[in-house]
Amino acid sequence: MRPKDESKVLDIVGEFANVGAGNAATALGALLDIEIVNEVTSCNLLPLSKVAGWLGGAEQIVAGVYTQLCGDLRGGVLVILSGDSATSLIHHLTKEKPDLSKLTEIQVSALREIGNICLCWYLVAVSRMIDSDLIPAPPDATVDLLGAVLDLPLAHVGVKVDKVIAVHTVFKSFEKEFDGYFLLLPEEQMLDVILEKMGDGR
Partner 1 sequence: MKEPELVGIAQMAVTKAPEQICCMGLGSCVAVFLYDPTTKVGGVVHVLLPRAPQGAKVPTKYANTAVGKLLTEVLVKGARKEHLRAKLVGGAQMFPNLSISVSDIGKENCDEAKKALRQLGVRLAAEDILGTRGRSATFDLETGRVSISTAFSNSHFI
Task: Write out the residues near partner 1 by the rule CB under 8 A.
Answer: 47-53, 57-59, 61, 64, 66-68, 70, 100-102, 137-152, 154-155, 158-160, 162
Nearer to partner 1, 26 or 142 (CB): 142
Nearer to partner 1, 168 or 172 (CB): 168
Dihedral sign for Cα atoms in the order 101, 156, 60, 37: negative
In this structure, the chain runs to a length of 202
Nearer to partner 1, 25 or 120 (CB): 120
Shortest Cβ 200–partner 1 spacing (Å)? 27
Nearer to partner 1, 20 or 64 (CB): 64
DSSP state of 135: -
DSSP state of 54: H
What's the CA gap between 133 and 93, in Å, rounded? 30
Coil vs helix vs strand at 103: coil
Shortest Cβ 46–partner 1 spacing (Å)? 10
Residues 6+ apart with CB under 8 A from 140: 65, 66, 67, 112
Shortest Cβ 99–partner 1 spacing (Å)? 9
Residues 6+ apart with CB under 8 A from 159: none
What's the CA gap between 82 and 62, in Å, rounded? 5
Shortest Cβ 22–partner 1 spacing (Å)? 26
Shortest Cβ 53–partner 1 spacing (Å)? 7
Nearer to partner 1, 25 or 62 (CB): 62
